[in-house]
Amino acid sequence: MEKIFDYLEGLVNTVKDNGLFIFLAVLFPILLYKFGAGQEIVLDLTSREMLSSKNFYVIASFLFLGLSIWCIPTISIHIFRQVNRLPSDKVLVILDRLLDLYNAKPKSDRVRKILQVPVRYVAVLPWIIFIISLTNIYYGKKVMVITILALILIIKLLDYYSKVLIKSFDTTFLQLKRFWEIICLLIILAVEYVILQCGVSGYYTSLIVFANITGVLLSYTFFLVKENSEDFPDGDPRKMEMIHDKTLYMHGLLLLISGGVMIFYFIKQINGTLSNVSPITIGTMVMSFYILIIELFITSQILLSNLMIKGFADNRFRFRVYRGVVVSFAVGWIVLLFSSTNPHIITQTPVKDQSEYFVRETLYSHFAEWYEKRNHDPRTGDLEVFLVSGQGGGSRAAYWFMSNMFELDNNNGKDFYKNLYSVSTVSGSSSGAMMFLASKAHYTLSPTAKREVVKNIYTRNYLSGALYGLLIGDFIETIAGAFGMPVRDRNYYFQMEEQNAFVDAHKKAGAWSAKDSVEQFFSRDYMYYYNRKKSKYNMPLLFLNSAIVENGKKVVFSPVQLNTPIDTVSDGQKNDYALFTLYEDAYGIYRKCDWSVNKEIPMSACVNASQSFPLINAYSFIHGVGRLTDGGFFENSGTSTTQEIYTALKKYVKEKNLRVKFTMINILNTKTDSDLAVNYSRASILNTVTAMAKNPFTGHEVLAVKQLQKQVVLMSNDGKDRIITLIPTGKYNLTRILSEKSVAKMRTELDTNIKKSRYIFQLQDTMRDKQLLKGFATQ
């Protein structure tokens, strides 16, 4: 019983003294295990591109994280001594006390009985959680449980035979005295590198799991031996001096490496190459950096102050003042880090030509001109007009939207794109729509090339840059701004990543276009292509749906005036109360504000505002409008805006007696509704949070989709108008990083559905009497 209570006391003391570090260390591995995005990140490790190097850096990052948790902060002692003017001979005495704390060696003193879980367990805990995620994703829960039990058993065996291990090291490596730790760590890294070079096609997952298990066990063995070995016998004055020197160099080396890695990531962010680094490596290294910095300047300084006051009975007032200053510094730093240090104003660029002014027409004047430039069906005299909606859902939505749009384009010749009047998108589908329109505007691709382009764009890792910017990048940008450098945030770099991905994907597919011209689609003003004679009535209207943080309203980037009358009476006067839509007009408000003078708001920035999912992106602020967040927070299908467009155009063509039939195409990437009954479950304190999350993403979305169906039934008296819904039956993760495996699975499903239901993609009139064409999944 005494052992149980000692264990519990050690556990409580460990959490109390090191809770912050444990939280930082295990946060990212736990997120990998809990969320679907983690599955895609782990699956991305098996991609053949940079397989060995990507996994090697992941393994090295977990080893580095373990060392950051485990190492003694000797430099902190020197900082404490210098600031508080302590004699130099006090350093070794203080270090001796810290060693007892870190190595969990019980002894009584005036502070308390020192009883904690050995730090080596905490050092390998994040890595073990990551291995649990690996085995669960690759092999399932049964193998995961077996792996956990095996790791626990092996670790306990290593503890049991620790004396044998330590003796072996004492007779070999410890003869090198000063260098054996570095040699051991280099050997661990060398072993891992060799293992990862032995990859055989079809066994990559096994190799990755084996390499990580080997790494964590070798690391644990190193920590175990290091904590219990002795360079010199007790009483030898050289013992503490060597421990001091080794821990000083180790702590300094870790700080130097972590700082250098943060600078390296900053440079890669600027160069647009951070996507080559796994989000796992970035998350682990940033957490290591925070652990080292927090311990260096905050927690160890507080601990040393308490040690002087209680452990050494030195009650000088200076230590209490010093502790208060450190606590105040910590609070200020946390406030600075988490506050809006970066204003996150939406990306703007100077106007290229001062004579340019971006003018928008009304919806009906634009449609009238567009209508005149289209060829009608020679058999019926009708013009079929396509209105497309795209559902949000990260890279999953973007890939599915762009792929389906290309397939519709492939199966209908020039008619589909030429008669595509509007595209209303939310979140990830906004990215897919931008890529599709940019590709149609600048390239002529074969069906095979189109598939390769979509794959290359959306198997790219967009999460690393977002994660780095969230954790530290935006903070560094703010500091850089204080020294005169341009202040940019993770939104800006994400926009550049998408632009570069688009250009690179077309290059890989063998397509060619003038680079400057392609980049203009992303970097020039949202209305730039709608004011050019060539593309004014050739490019479909792209409606980008977003939401306003401050008031919860829906806001839309629209190429035509939003708040304009749509009804006319017999005398030609307009009823101002009958508006096209009451949604907020983002671009219109922007242009009326003095803040926009001589500035452009790039197309990529508007798309980013539509897909600014919290944390992954920062909110984009527009003067007069507010901070814009992901459009899915108001309505996630894009169909609510399409309904407004359809209603307005339907009234217009009826007034003008135009021969038009409308086809609404809803490209959804997950079901919007469920036929299952809601079973009783016990009330939870989180019910309110659940309601807040479900209301926009499910409630508003379901209503919008059904309202569009209802509106078509009510307004299409001749039965010519229809709705087609394209939706996968498989489940795919919501994330900004899609693995090659998930993309291949989605592509296979799409190809299968095309073979089974080609008439849907050919938009045949034989199905016009059905309001919802079922070929993928029922709604």
Q: Over 60: is that where the pLDDT of 776 sits? A: no
Question: According to the model, what pLDDT value does residue 425 have?
Answer: 97
> pLDDT digit string (tens) for 672-704?
776 655 666 676 665 666 665 566 666 688 888
Tokens 């003294």, located at residue: 17
Question: According to the model, what pLDDT value does residue 252 have?
Answer: 94
Amino acid identity of residue 261, one-letter, is: V
Question: According to the model, what pLDDT value does residue 215 have?
Answer: 95
Q: Over 50: is that where the pLDDT of 150 sits? A: yes
Q: Over 80: is that where the pLDDT of 209 sits? A: yes
Question: According to the model, what pLDDT value does residue 216 have?
Answer: 96
d(CA 222, CA 774): 60
Question: According to the model, what pLDDT value does residue 691 have?
Answer: 60
Buried-state track 529-553, b at ≥16 Cβ within 10 A, e below 16: bbbeeeebbebbbbbbbbbbbeeee
- Region of poorest pLDDT, from 49-58, 173-182, 611-620: 173-182
Q: Over 70: is that where the pLDDT of 61 sits? A: yes
On whether the CB atoms of residues 652 and 566 are closer than 8 A, the answer is yes
User: What 3 state SS string does 524-558 have?
Assistant: CECCCCCCCCCCCCCCCEEEEEEEECCCCCEEEEC
Give the chain's radius of gyration (CA, Å). 31
Q: Tell me the average pLDDT of the chain.
A: 83
On whether the CB atoms of residues 69 and 29 are closer than 8 A, the answer is no
Question: According to the model, what pLDDT value does residue 476 have?
Answer: 84
> pLDDT digit string (tens) for 745-764?
999 999 998 888 887 887 77
pLDDT band at 7 (very low <50, low <70, confident <90, very high): low
Question: According to the model, what pLDDT value does residue 639 have?
Answer: 94
Q: 560 by DSSP, 3-state: which?
A: coil
CATH code of the domain occupying 349-374+385-674+683-773: 3.40.1090
Structure tokens at 245: 């020197």
Q: Over 90: is that where the pLDDT of 181 sits? A: no
Q: Which of 101, 104, 93, 107 is nearest to 241 (CA)?
A: 93
Q: Which of 582, 564, 706 is nearest to 637 (CA)?
A: 706
Question: According to the model, what pLDDT value does residue 677 have?
Answer: 59
> pLDDT digit string (tens) for 333-365?
888 777 655 668 898 988 877 677 788 898 989
Question: According to the model, what pLDDT value does residue 191 have?
Answer: 94
Question: According to the model, what pLDDT value does residue 694 have?
Answer: 60
Question: Where do the structural domains in the chain lie, given as residue ranges?
Answer: 2-306, 349-374+385-674+683-773
On whether the CB atoms of residues 619 and 625 are closer than 8 A, the answer is no
d(CA 690, CA 332): 33
Question: According to the model, what pLDDT value does residue 770 have?
Answer: 43
d(CA 732, CA 725): 18
Q: Over 60: is that where the pLDDT of 196 sits? A: yes
Q: Over 80: is that where the pLDDT of 288 sits? A: yes
> pLDDT digit string (tens) for 545-563?
999 998 889 999 999 998 7
Question: According to the model, what pLDDT value does residue 643 have?
Answer: 95
d(CA 160, CA 199): 34
Question: According to the model, what pLDDT value does residue 110 have?
Answer: 41
On whether the CB atoms of residues 677 and 612 are closer than 8 A, the answer is no
241-248: Cβ within 8 A, 24+ apart: 241/92, 242/177, 242/178, 243/95, 243/99, 244/74, 244/91, 244/92, 244/95, 245/178, 246/178, 246/181, 247/71, 247/72, 247/74, 247/95, 248/74, 248/75, 248/78
- Between 579 and 281, the higher pLDDT residue: 281
d(CA 360, CA 530): 8
Angle between helices 141-160 and 204-228 (to 10 degrees): 30
98-107: Cβ within 8 A, 24+ apart: 98/72, 98/73, 98/303, 98/307, 99/72, 99/243, 101/17, 101/303, 102/70, 102/72, 103/227, 104/10
Task: Tell me the C-alpha to C-alpha distance, in Å, between residue 335 and each of 196, 330, 383, 491, 756.
Answer: 42, 9, 59, 22, 57
Buried-state track 258-295, b at ≥16 Cβ within 10 A, e below 16: beebbeebbebbeebebbebbbbbbbbbbbbbbbbbbb
Task: Tell me the C-alpha to C-alpha distance, in Å, between residue 191 and each of 153, 198, 630.
Answer: 22, 11, 45
Helix (H) or strand (E) segment spanning residue 667 = strand 660-667
- Region of poorest pLDDT, from 54-63, 125-134, 199-208, 483-492: 199-208
- Between 22 and 282, the higher pLDDT residue: 282
- Region of poorest pLDDT, from 238-247, 404-413, 426-435, 709-718: 238-247
Tokens 């001749």, located at residue: 718
- The mean per-residue pLDDT over the stretch 140-165 comes to 89
Concatenate the DSSP letters of all residues of 608-625 into one string.
Answer: HHHT--BTTBPPEEETTT
d(CA 462, CA 457): 10
